Structure 1
Amino acid sequence: MQRRLGTTARADRFYDDQMLDHLNERMREFVGQQEMFFLATSDRHGECDNSFRAGPPGFLHVVDERTLVYPEYRGNGVHASLGNIEENPHLGILLIDFFRSRVGLHINGRAEVVEDAEIRRAVPDLPVDSVPGRRALVWVRVTVEEAYIHCAKHIPHLQKAPKGTPRDWGTDDHRRKGGDFFGVAEGARGRAADHRPNHEPTAPDDRPAPVPAAGPPTPQPPAPQQSTQQPPAPRTPDPEPASSEPVPPAPGGELVPAGAGLPDADDPTAWQALAERILARALSRGEETEQARYTDWFG
């Protein structure tokens, strides 16, 4: 593909300048600061799976320059990644710092599943969580084979939500974890009902109402009189003051001026004008040079 797309020289420079077969000091520090990563595995047939892992800083634990370990929690019980690792030990890890450096780190290597007691004998300083849902069932030990940067060019700059939000990390509450967000379980129940013989009801609420026995009509209470008093007019919320914080970087790395705020949500013309200004600034910068494309972040 490099020959076909004419990028062989660029790729060779990247291999020479940015790729290691171990984690250097800066990479190890970067790993220890991250609270999440993306995990790629495949089974023995090459069928791929991509998953997400999260925990407190350091949960992806650096043992040495060639070894990492991370815990596997209870989850949904499917254990797709662990099953793949048992069949095919190759895996890929992608860590991205969305909040500070906006730089990513790729780590490729070989993995093995290790029991909790065994890994603690080898690495005694691993943390122990008292909450059952956050207690490791097993660990994955990764032998590093490749490590290289993911440059910041297309990584968005995000901001952490304050603590105490409905999605605090580590909850076991079904609704706070997202519940049936995509309606899959609801759809499955509907499909099961459609295939039930004669569509028989399964709950009292689905049954037709009983026919009342014959007899004198039940007296009904008089209907409430219609009030002539008008309800109070809804209060119009005060407009929010323009934020003094800069808007996240626009394409090309430039900021919308601090205090400028964003167009009104119901004004598509203003949004289009803002997008065109941002695009014009990005195009005016031209293509970045090869030296700027891969900043020597990890030394």
Structure 2
Amino acid sequence: MAKSRKLESLLAQLEQIRLNPTTSEAKLILCQLLTSKQPMAIAQAATLIAESEQYDLIPSLVAAFDWAMTKPSERDPVCTAKLKLADALYRLDYNNEDLFLRGIRHVQRTSVWGGSDDKAAPLRSVCALGLVRMNYPDVMSELADLLADPEPDARIGAARAIAYTGNLLGVPLLRLRIKIGDSALVLSDCFLALLHLSPTQFSIDLVRSFLTIQPQTEHRENTDLAEAAALAFGESRLPQAFDILQTWWHSIRIPELRQMGLTAIALVRNDEAVSFLLFLIQSGDLVVAKNSIKALSIYREDQVLWQRVREQIEQRGEPSLLSMAD
């Protein structure tokens, strides 16, 4: 109970300085929070320091990280503080490789029902970004290890960090991870990273192969991988993306994939993709028209484009569609 009251008091102090965190008094409070031994308070202080770009408090962040890493399971059981401290240092352009190497290699298993859970996967991902940003010479070796990490969150972080490098040495790593296989959640980021790093026909063909529904594989796994590939094409915004997705959408019959395919087309964000979806609103069957409107809803803040959506809906005159224009 005493710990709970102490944490509440610390967080209340944080709220008092949130609107103006760079005064001398605020800096003193932030430093006190970083030495409070309360992971949640440390994490929130670190976030505020990064948001307010207080480079002069970097030494205090480093000291707090060292404290949390000394007895990591005891002092910061679920890596709340370590994660936010590493993230703050990454965002403040901290360039000491030793800290990020400690983080990218840190594993912290916590007992859970039926086994144990590694709480440090997000920390490893953030530290990967820190090493990439500072151009650490052996970063690709570290990212290769992270791409083979047992935890999916860490593998996702590795794929994103590889894309961030802009280094073509990451292409074979991504291709190997894709070829070996993984969950759709992980491969989604691998697909996007590959298309970002190497938007060649070789890469496009590999990602496009996952759009094909293989009858011998489990249906749910099939559709998840196809969805991941389609969304990666959409988010890539490659010149070929619309043609690939339009051709694929016309070929599929699985309802959930057809709906998601329209979302992927909307993500391409070019005139061809928008015109295609507007055409479907006016000419497609009712389900297709509704799904096209949902897909284009990402443009609601674009008044000119959304007005075009409204016009197509009004021209069609279908009562069940009219309410979707608001």
TM-score normalized by the length of structure 2 = 0.20
Per residue, is there more strand in 1 or in 2?
1
Higher relative contact order (CA 8 A, sep 6+): 1
